[in-house]
Amino acid sequence: MHYQLQKLQQRSSLTIAELANDRERSARLPLHMAATKPPIKHEPSRRKHYVPEWAEKRGLIQADIVRETGADKATVSRWFSGNMPQDHYLDALVGYLELDDRDALFRHPDDDWMARFLRGRSDEEKERIRTMLEAAFPLKVA
C-alpha cells in the first residue's frame, strides 16, 4: 500500500501522510498484500513400519508399549496410526518387541521368518531357494 501511496503522491500535491489519512482516496486504492508462504509444517516421517502388526503378533496393546518404551500415550497412538517413531524410541521398540534389529520394524511379521532363513546364505543359495519355491508354488494366472 505504501508503494501505491507514493505513486498517488507523485500525481498530486498531497503528502503520503495526508493521502493515507484521506479515507475517500485511500478507500479507492486497491489493496494488495504481499504473497506470503504458509509456515513450514514439519510433518512426521510417514515411512512404513509395522509396529502395530508386531505388537499384535506379540499380544501387546498400546498401554504395554507406553509402559516399556517411556513414550506417552499420544506418541504411541501416532505410531499405531502410521507415524514414524523417533530415533531414540526405535531401540526400545526393537528390544521390547523381541526383534533382531531395527530393520525388522520395517518388515511385516509374516515376512520375518524368510529374512532369518536367508540371512547368511550366499547369493547362489538364495537363487537356488527362489527357483525351488517358484517351481513348487507357481503363480496362478487367472
Count CB neighbours of 111 within 10 A.
11
The ranges assigned to domains in the chain are 1-33, 51-136
| Residue 2 three-state SS | helix
| Residue 42 three-state SS | coil
For the domain bounded by 51-136, which CATH number is listed? Answer: 1.10.260
Q: Whole-angstrom Cα distance, residue 104 to residue 128? A: 24
Q: What is the pLDDT of residue 5?
A: 52
Per-residue pLDDT of the chain (142 residues; tens, 9 = 90+): 555 656 655 665 555 556 566 666 656 655 555 566 666 555 555 668 999 999 999 999 999 999 999 999 999 999 999 899 998 999 999 999 999 888 889 988 888 678 778 889 999 999 999 999 999 998 887 6
The whole-model pTM stands at 0.51
Q: What is the pLDDT of residue 117?
A: 86
